[in-house]
Amino acid sequence: MIDPDIVRRRDGVRRLSTLASMSKRMGTSIITLCTGTRDPTDMWRRHPDNDLPDAWNDLLTSMEESLQIAEGHQLTLAFEPEIANVVDSAKKARRLLDEMGSSRLRVVMDAANLFHSGTLSTMHHQILDEAFELLGGQIVIVHAKDLSHDGEAGQEAAGTGRLDYDHYLSLLQKTGYDGPLILHSLREEQVDQSVSFLRRKLENN
């Protein structure tokens, strides 16, 4: 969405249009998006230029084009706040929703993506509470993975790291969310363990 290479950025819009044209045939009405980074080689690596005003302006331009595509195909676009991307917090996610003002734009919630350096131990519940307060009514997909440390997005199987799943799932249930809870960042042999972990947590909540 904010690739520093304008040619690649334009190609991304073209690819989104192609994907949108096939989505209904594939049985989905939601396309997920990465808001992007100024890093020229890795869309999941933080870059200091992500915080510059021109990065935000490029995001708005790309998002406006993307939402026009979504409207044309009656689809929902869902973006995921992630600390390496230009939308790296719940506050920025809320800002993007407000500035775009589109019913076609929603949120993918992944709590393991929200902890900047130094916040996992000191602001764990505060960050989760803020995320659900600002975004709870806009969530259409939820991810379930975990993290061992802050400062980058977590990449561990759910239940194997430091994320407070009791609090996470409690906040999720309070929103009335009844959509998919999608496991990722896990090996095949971890699937049964993570599914059992989530089922126990859901029963307790």
Q: What is the CATH number of the domain that holds 27?
A: 3.20.20.150
Q: How many domains does the chain have?
A: 1
The verdict on residue 50 lying in a domain is yes
Q: How far apart, in whole angstroms, are the C-alpha atoms of residue 33 and residue 199?
A: 28
pLDDT for 205 beyond 80: no
Range of the domain at 156: 6-204
The verdict on residue 78 lying in a domain is yes
Q: Dump pLDDT digits (tens) for 32-82.
A: 999 999 999 998 899 999 999 999 999 999 999 999 999 999 999 999 999
Q: How far apart, in whole angstroms, are the C-alpha atoms of residue 204 and residue 16?
A: 40
The verdict on residue 165 lying in a domain is yes
The verdict on residue 197 lying in a domain is yes
The verdict on residue 130 lying in a domain is yes
The verdict on residue 1 lying in a domain is no
The verdict on residue 110 lying in a domain is yes
pTM equals 0.95
pLDDT for 153 beyond 80: yes
The verdict on residue 11 lying in a domain is yes
Of 103, 197, 126, the residue nearest 156 (C-alpha): 197
What is the β-pairing status of strands 139-146 and 156-157? antiparallel
